[in-house]
Copies of this chain bind each other. A is one copy, B any other.
Amino acid sequence: MAEKIKNESEITESKKFMPNLSYDSVIFGFNGKQLKILILEYHNTGFFALPGGFVRRNESLDDAVKRGVRHRTGLDRIYLEQFHTFGDIERSDSEAMMRILEENGMDLKTNQWMLDRFLTVAYYALINYDEVTPRPDKLSDSISWYSIDELPALMMDHKKIVEKALQVLRENLEKKLIGMNLLPPKFTMKQLQQVYEAILGENLRRTTFQRRILSMDILERHDKLFQGKAHKAPYLYSFKSEKII
């Protein structure tokens, strides 16, 4: 049996995007102490979720994610890494989606396509915490930083996505010079160590860490940073420019 003819607006709306496919982003920031991620809350629902979006028919997957993350953070150059695609059947939750549409006064017919099953491609982003004032979009009440060990309950499989992001981030820590994307251009050795400790979730030895990083020959040393504290002032470092990706 042929299905009934769809109404025009649904066709128009759903044709803008690749169907049944979304992306979700785990946006990491570092506030000097803790590793944090951006979580948004949908209007009037109590639903917390990762910032995500859809892929337009005339843009690449990577570009779609760049566009979305740029839009939410205001940052132009963002370190992004795709880490997994989630495709379980049960991951989609049409009832929750319906709630969100209703609470935002969106037409169910027009947006029917959003209630279907979705696969999602997950990316993590590393950004300089201080440069960002995240702004909520139309659908969400708030978008704000949460420490990774104090996350609210997340909708659908977003908790699983965050866990996988963290796992891959840890695995990539050594081989991808990740620190540079979470810190300001100049930083002290202690700050870099704190980034590593926050990501790994464990304490590192100061002398060993310093020796290992310096032996990698990726840092440039600058003037000392006088913090106005009663002790020796640390050097500032930056990543050697030729090492930057």
B-binding residues in A (CB < 8 A) = 2-3, 5-6, 8, 11, 18-21, 55, 57-62, 64, 82, 84-89, 117, 119, 121, 171, 175
Which residues of chain B are near A171, meaning CB under 8 Å?
175
Q: Are B89 and A119 in contact (CB under 8 A)?
A: no
Q: Can you list 22 pairs linking A and B with CB atoms under 8 Å apart?
A: A2-B5, A2-B6, A2-B11, A18-B20, A18-B117, A20-B21, A55-B87, A57-B117, A58-B89, A60-B87, A60-B88, A60-B89, A61-B85, A61-B86, A61-B119, A62-B88, A64-B87, A82-B85, A85-B85, A85-B121, A119-B121, A171-B175
Most buried by B among A6, A18, A64: A18
Chain B, residue nearest A9 (CB)? B2
Q: How far is the CA of A6 from the CA of B64 in the complex (A)?
A: 29
Chain B, residue nearest A90 (CB)? B60
Counted per complex, copies of this chain come to: 2
Chain B, residue nearest A88 (CB)? B60
Which residues of chain B are near A175, meaning CB under 8 Å?
171
Q: Are A119 and B21 in contact (CB under 8 A)?
A: yes
The distance from the CB of A26 to the nearest CB of chain B, in whole angstroms, is 16
Q: How far is the CA of A3 from the CA of B12 in the complex (A)?
A: 9
Select one of B3, B84, B85, B121 contacting A11, CB under 8 A: B3
Which residues of chain B are near A58, meaning CB under 8 Å?
89
Q: Are B82 and A61 in contact (CB under 8 A)?
A: no
Chain B, residue nearest A3 (CB)? B11
Which residues of chain B are near A59, meaning CB under 8 Å?
89
Which residues of chain B are near A20, meaning CB under 8 Å?
18-21
Chain B, residue nearest A57 (CB)? B117
Which residues of chain B are near A21, meaning CB under 8 Å?
20-21, 119
Chain B, residue nearest A55 (CB)? B87
